[in-house]
Structure 1
Amino acid sequence: MEGIDFAMGLNRILLWSANAGLAALCCWIAAGLLADATAELMLPPPTVSAAEAPPPPPPRTWQSRQAILDRNLFKASTTAAEPGEAIEDELAATKLPLRLLGTVAAGMAQRAWAAVEDLEQRQHLVVRVNDRLQDKAEVVRIERRRIVLRNGGRLEELALDEVEPTQGAAAAAARGPRFGRADRRANMASPGAAAERVQRLAENRFGVAREDVESVANNPAALFSQARILPKYDEGKMVGVQLNAIKPGSLFEQIGIREGDTITELNGIQITSQQDSASVLRELTSASAFHVTVTGSDGAVRQLTYEVQ
């Protein structure tokens, strides 16, 4: 019995010793963790001297940015910018047998149009952007005094003839009338025929045939063939359309329009933009009378009235 009691006592001593050792180990580990955490909290935050701080990146100039864009590292397509590509002011004149009669430019390319005479076919045509002339040249742009053509991959221009107002009537008479089949009715084949259709009712008051009005509205190219019609600008602002080189016997001559006159208003529509010119053509198709304000080359203002019969 004494041996058994001795053994059991020894086991208790060993068990207590083991527990005490484990407890001491746990306390030591916990104390180490607590010391590390306390030291980290008590240490001041690291500081970086001005000498060690990295300098800020230099500002990038527009030239450097454009250089990156020009390199086109990702091969981005630039075809979307093609409609707005710059076209040179000086282009070679086209050698196609064409003559520009007039233009109606607009902010939107789809609304612009031009009157062109085909000298081979002796026809007057109304063309817009993307139309083709003589199956060779494509209309690329319509401007105030020219149209730009793409002929065989090359840009060319068809510009208005430069005619001085004082020389307009003489130049028109020297050229003689050039009529195409498409516009003979509106162009009035002879002064006698024009006199029959236009009646002078009173001073600055005329009677015009509905047939002639409809012909002009449906075929504006014929209108441009009877006179040089250009926008009139004063201090950079459009104030109307000026007529020069009026052909003898033309509709303009018969309705009292004189060389150098500027039409500034029709039926209350002030012509201050190319879009207003298009509105005037639409007015021709519906109105039964026209009240036109004209400023002469001498600055005098006249009121002309036309009754559609």
Structure 2
Amino acid sequence: MIALTSFLSAATLNQTLKRVVFSLPEGAEPIDASPVVAGDEPMAEGGAPENAEPGPDDAPPPPEDNPVASARRLSKSDLVDPFVRRSIFDSTKVGATADGVAGGEVGASELRYVLIATMVAEPELFSSALIAKDDRESRSQGYGVGDTLEGGEGKIVRIEAKKVWIDRGTGELEYIEMGAKGEAKPRPASEPEPAGESDGGITKEGDNKFIVERKLLEDAMANIDSLASKVRVVPHRGADGEVDGYRLSAIRRGSIFDKLGIKNGDIVHQVNGMGLTSPDQALSAFQSLQSESNFTFEVSRRNKRQTFEYEVR
């Protein structure tokens, strides 16, 4: 009985390891993870003896009872995400979410973490990731699906080959990616941006106050298609179920949205007091900025409403 139990455990381990994918940084050497089973008989692929006769218990379970087959089925995010990433102010995006998370997947997280390695397994529950804080003194830690990051800054909800998705309780998912290079590190939340600094035609004068060069604004508004390629915009529904603004994400660094102080996950409710409740209203509000000398954005960030003020010169 003990020998039979050991044999079945080894076979299960072998089959599981064959479905595991390791992702390591460039230059790292892979490790042979094939299990070694004690015994005199040579083992065939799958962990069974080469000369063993297949028995009734060897048949795979039907698809509906097979957890691995179920794990391979397309999730809601697999079907929805390719569509919700398209175009700006698209009314077809209203209410589109991924895996039950309001707002769906947003983009790169501003958390100061580095993804060192991942192990992707089936079922997904057995996947794991090696993550460290982005500082010299931090040590890497292992995390699995459902674990909370050190300091309680977010919960890991999905682990992919070179990417880990995090839920920070803001209504959308963010990710940290392995090997991301060349991007400026985000400024810590406790360290405000100094006033008076210019960023390519936009100068920050204080908390949520900016001076904008007119030419920069006119050039940006003159090409809506180019503007749309630098951000992902999804309608946001309020507590009453009606659209009350647009959630911005996947904001490109150096784009006008970035320079205006807008961050991934921000919800813009009003522009110059005009509510953004439909695609037509949103387009009209943003296009009207070309002729304004002052304008404001009413924004929700981490469930807190705030007003951004801009002076055009």
TM-score range with shorter-chain normalisation? Answer: 0.3 to 0.5
TM-score (norm 2): 0.41
Q: Computing the radius of gyration over CA atoms, which structure comes out larger, 1 or 2?
A: 1
Q: Which has the higher helix share?
A: 1
